[in-house]
Amino acid sequence: MLETAIVVKVNEGLHARPATQFAKLAKEFSCSLQIFRGATCADAKSAVKLMLLGVKQDDQILLRADGSDESDAVRRLLQFLSEPSAGVSLAGHDANDRLVEKAAAVEAGSRADADKPQDPRVQEPAVTEASVRGVAASEGLADGEAFVYLPEALRATRQFIEPDEVEGELARFGVAFREAIAALDSQFETMGQHDDIVEALTDVAQSDEFSSAVKDRIASGWDAAAATLQVGEELAAAFLAMEDEYLRSRADDIRGIARQVALRLLGRDDVSLASLSRPCIVLAADLSALDFARACVANIVGLVCIKGSATSHLAIMARAHGIPAVLGLPVADDRLREATTVALDGAQGQVWFDPSPELQADFAARIAQDRRRHAALSVYRDVAPVTRDGRHIEIAANLGSLTEIDAALEAGAMGVGLFRTELLFMDRRTLPDEDEQYNVYSRLAEAFHPRPVVIRTLDVGGDKPVPGIVFPQEDNPFLGWRGVRMCLDRPDVFKPQLRALLRAATLGNVHVMLPMVDDLDEVRRVKVLLATCAQELALEGAAYAMPKLGIMVETPAAALTADLLAPEVDFFSIGTNDLTQYVMAVDRVNPNLAALYRTDHPAVLRAIGMVCEAAKKANIRVAVCGEAAARPEMIPVLIGLGVNELSMSPSSVLRAKKIASEL
Ligand code: PEP
Ligand code: MG
Q: Which atom of ligand 1 is nearest to the CA of 515?
A: 6
pLDDT confidence of residue 246? 63
Cα separation, 167 vs 179, in Å, equals 19
| Rg of the chain on CA atoms, in Å | 28
Ligand 1 atom 3: residue of nearest CA:
575
Q: Residue 50: which pLDDT band, with cuts at 50, 70 and 90?
A: confident
**Which ligand has the shortest distance to the CA of 589?**
1
**pLDDT 10s digits, 261-292:** 998 998 887 777 877 889 999 999 988 655 77
Position 73 pLDDT exceeds 60: yes
C-alpha torsion sign, points 13, 19, 24, 30: positive
Lowest mean pLDDT among 210-214, 291-295, 646-650: 291-295
Q: What band does 333 get if pLDDT is binned at 50, 70 and 90?
A: very high
* CA distance linking residue 64 with residue 46, whole number of Å: 14
Residue 615: the pLDDT is 98
On the question of pLDDT at 113 being above 50, the answer is no
At residue 528, the pLDDT reads: 98
Give Cβ neighbours of residue 303 (< 8 Å, ≥ 6 apart): 137, 138, 281, 282, 284, 287, 314, 318, 323, 324, 325, 326, 327
pLDDT at position 83 over 50: yes
If DSSP codes are grouped into helix, strand and coil, which group holds residue 238? helix
Relative to beta strand 571-574, strand 548-553 is: parallel
Give the separation between CA 561 and CA 619, rounded to whole angstroms: 16
Give the residue with greater pLDDT, 246 vs 123: 246
In the reported structure, the alpha carbon of residue 577 is separated from the centroid of ligand 1 by a whole-number distance in angstroms of 5
231 CA → ligand 2 middle, Å:
44
Q: How far apart are CA 418 and CA 425, in angstroms?
A: 16
For a ligand 1 pocket test, name from 554, 573, 645 the mutation site with the most ligand atoms within 8 angstroms of its C-beta.
554
Nearest Cα to Cα of residue 227 among 219, 218, 235? 218
Measured distance CA(418)–CA(653) in Å, rounded:
13
Mean pLDDT of the chain: 85
Q: What is the DSSP letter of 547?
A: P
What was the pLDDT predicted at 104?
A: 33
Ligand approaching nearest to the C-alpha of 626: 1
pLDDT, residue 310, reads 65
Using 50, 70 and 90 to split pLDDT, how confident is the model at 98?
very low
- Starting from the CA of residue 648, give the closest ligand: 1
Looking at residue 555, the DSSP 8-state letter turns out to be S
The Cα-based distances of 616 to 526, 570, 644 in angstroms read 24, 12, 10
| 91 has pLDDT over 70 | no
pLDDT of 309 above 80: no
pLDDT above 90 (res 102): no
Q: Work out which ligand 1 atom sits closest to the CA atom of 573.
A: 5
The candidate with the shortest Cα–Cα distance to 5, out of 30, 28, 36, is: 36
Atom of ligand 1 nearest to the CA of 581: 2
The confidence score (pLDDT) of residue 93 equals: 36
305 is catalytic: no
How many Cα atoms within 13 Å fall on the side-chain side of residue 626? 28
Domain ranges of the chain: 2-89, 132-150+273-355, 163-266, 381-662
CA atoms of 210 and 202, how far apart (whole Å): 10
pLDDT at 609 > cutoff 60: yes
Q: Take atom 6 of ligand 1 and give the residue whose Cα is closest.
A: 575
Residue 61 has pLDDT above 60, yes or no: yes
Residues in contact with 606: Cβ distance below 8 Å, sequence separation at least 6, in sequence order: none
The Å distance, Cα 553 to ligand 1 centre, comes to: 10
- List the residue whose alpha carbon is closest to atom 9 of ligand 1: 420
Pick the most confident of 109-123, 167-181, 246-260: 167-181
Q: Compute CA 44 distance to the chain's CA centroid, rounded to the nearest angstrom.
A: 34
- Span 615-631, average pLDDT: 95
| Pocket mutation for ligand 1, best pick of 422, 552, 555, 652 (most atoms within 8 Å of C-beta) | 552
Ranges 17-21, 498-502, 606-610: which has the least confidence: 17-21
Which stretches of 427-505 are DSSP H helices?
Answer: 434-448, 483-489, 491-504
Of the listed ranges 23-27, 313-317, 451-455, 591-595, the one predicted with least confidence: 313-317
The model scores a pTM over 0.85:
no
CATH number of 132-150+273-355: 3.50.30.10
Instruction: Give the model's pLDDT for residue 94.
Output: 38
| pLDDT score at 56 | 85
Buried b (16+ CB within 10 A) or exposed e, 11-47: bbbbbbbbbbbbbebbeebebbbbbbbeeeebbbbbb
pLDDT of residue 245: 61
Looking at residue 211, its pLDDT comes to 86
Contact 184, 201 (CB under 8 A): yes
Q: Which residues line ligand 1 (CB under 6 A)?
A: 111-112, 418, 420, 459, 554, 575-578, 625-626
Assign a CATH topology to domain 2-89: Histidine-containing Protein; Chain: A; (3.30.1340)
Which is higher by pLDDT, 111 or 507? 507
Q: Is the pLDDT of residue 107 over 90?
A: no
Which pLDDT score is estimated for 190?
A: 52
* Catalytic annotation present for 313: yes
Residue 154 CA, ligand 1 centroid: distance in Å = 42
Confidence of residue 199 (pLDDT cuts 50, 70, 90): low
**Residue 200: predicted pLDDT:** 59
CATH classification code of 163-266? 1.10.274.10
Query: From CA 131, how far away is CA 129, in angstroms rounded?
Result: 6
- Counting ligand 1 atoms within 8 A of each CB, the residue from 113, 115, 578 with the most, and so the one to mutate, is 578
Q: One of 313, 321, 374, 449 is an active-site residue; which one?
A: 313
pLDDT in tens, 225-250: 999 999 998 988 888 887 766 666 66
Q: What is the pLDDT of residue 295?
A: 78
Ligand 1, residues 110, 111, 484, 581: which to mutate, most atoms within 8 A of Cβ?
111
Q: How confident is the model at residue 108 (pLDDT cuts 50, 70, 90)?
A: very low
Helices and strands counted in the chain (H then E): 26, 20
Q: What phi and psi, each to the nearest 5 degrees, are found at residue 623? A: -115, 165
How would residue 294 be classed by pLDDT, with cut points 50, 70 and 90?
low
Residues comprising the chain, all counted: 663
Q: Is the pLDDT of residue 462 over 60?
A: yes
Residue 209: what pLDDT?
79
Q: What is the pLDDT of residues 369-393, one digit of tens each?
A: 988 988 899 999 999 999 999 999 9
Reduced to 3 states, what is the DSSP secondary structure of residue 338? Answer: helix
pLDDT score, position 268: 82
Atom of ligand 1 nearest to the CA of 576: 3
- Note the Cα 257 to chain centre separation in Å: 23
pLDDT band at 193 (very low <50, low <70, confident <90, very high): very low
Among the residue ranges 86-95, 324-333, 504-513, the one predicted with the least confidence is 86-95
Residue 590 predicted with pLDDT over 90: no
Ligand number nearest CA of 110 is 1
CA of 577 to the centre of ligand 2 (A): 6
Closest Cα to atom 1, ligand 1: which residue? 575
Given pLDDT bands bounded at 50, 70 and 90, which one contains residue 110? very low
CA distance 642 to 387: 12
pLDDT class of 90 with cuts at 50, 70, 90: very low
Given the CA of residue 577, which atom of ligand 1 is nearest to it? 3
- Cite the DSSP H helix spans in 449-551: 483-489, 491-504, 520-540
Looking at the chain, the whole-number percentage of residues with pLDDT higher than 70 is 86
pLDDT beyond 70 at 89:
no
Query: Is 80 exceeded by the pLDDT of residue 464?
Result: no
Q: Could you give the CA distance from residue 32 to residue 36 in angstroms, rounded to a whole number?
A: 13
Q: Using CA atoms, how far apart are residues 646 and 312, in angstroms rounded to an integer? A: 24
CA angle 367, 372, 375 (to 5 degrees): 125
Residue nearest to atom 7 of ligand 1 (CA): 577
Higher pLDDT, 172 or 594: 172
Is the pLDDT at 186 greater than 80? The verdict is: no
Nearest atom in ligand 1 to the alpha carbon of residue 626 is 3
More confident of the two residues 1 and 95: 1
What's the CA-to-centroid distance between 145 and ligand 2, angstroms?
39
627 CA: nearest ligand 1 atom: 3
pLDDT of 77 > 90? The answer is yes
Task: Quick: pLDDT tens for 420-433.
Answer: 998 888 756 678 99
Q: How far out from the chain centre does Cα 244 lie?
A: 18
Distance 573 CA to ligand 1 centre (A): 10
- The vertex-568 CA angle with 576 and 533, nearest 5°, equals 100
**Residues with Cβ within 8 Å of residue 478, at least 6 apart in sequence:** 461, 463, 581, 587
Q: Please give the pLDDT value at position 230.
A: 92
Is the predicted pLDDT of residue 116 greater than 80, yes or no?
A: no
Query: Quick one: which of 345, 347, 362 has its CA closest to 127?
Result: 362
**With 80 as the cut, is the pLDDT of residue 466 above it?**
no
Evaluate the CA torsion angle 502, 503, 507, 513 in order and state its sign.
Answer: negative
Report how far ligand 1's centroid is from the alpha carbon of 575 (Å): 5
**CATH architecture of the domain with residue range 381-662:** Alpha-Beta Barrel (3.20)
* Rounded Cα distance, 360 and 127, in Å: 9
Whether the CB-CB separation of 428 and 419 falls below 8 Å is answered with no
